[in-house]
Amino acid sequence: TLTIDNKKYIADVHVRSGLYSSDTIFDYWHGYVATRVFSRNACFILKMDKKSFPKLQEIGRRAYEKETLRKIFSPNNLWVQYTPGDSTLSNIKEWFKYGSAIEHLCRDLPVYK
């Protein structure tokens, strides 16, 4: 499921698929994406590159197209490499940088940037 909050500039994607379940937050206000992978009990945070990520309005359009057409093609692939975060769990300044939505998603989990 996809929820878009235009006032907070956040898209929240919930994938319910057993072992592969996850929650992802696209926080356009703070410029970060966070994914919580439930099977790994970990959170992955990525700084958005505005050239690589679709605009918030486009995410809604793509979701609508996928629902309507049942198939979506995107030539945009993004490959990233994560490293363990330094002190994200204990450093309050880090949570201010990521925003409260990502803090609520990732609090008390190992964080990878």
Q: What is the pLDDT of residue 72?
A: 45
Q: What is the pLDDT of residue 102?
A: 87
Task: Give the residue carrying structure tokens 């979701």.
Answer: 63
Look up residue 7 and give its amino acid.
K
Q: Does the structure show a pLDDT above 60 at 94?
A: yes
Per-residue DSSP letter, 53 = S
At 37 the three-state DSSP class reads: strand
Q: What is the pLDDT of residue 86?
A: 52
Q: Which residue has the higher pLDDT, 110 or 6?
A: 6
Q: Does the structure show a pLDDT above 60 at 111?
A: yes
Rg (CA), the chain: 14
Distance CA 102, CA 43 (A): 9
Q: Does the structure show a pLDDT above 90 at 113?
A: no
CA angle 10, 109, 106 (to 5 degrees): 10
Q: What is the pLDDT of residue 30?
A: 94
pLDDT digit string (tens) for 29-54? Answer: 999 999 998 888 888 899 998 888 88
Q: What is the pLDDT of residue 52?
A: 82
At 11 the three-state DSSP class reads: strand
pTM for the whole structure: 0.70
Report residue 65's pLDDT band, with 50, 70 and 90 as the boundaries.
low
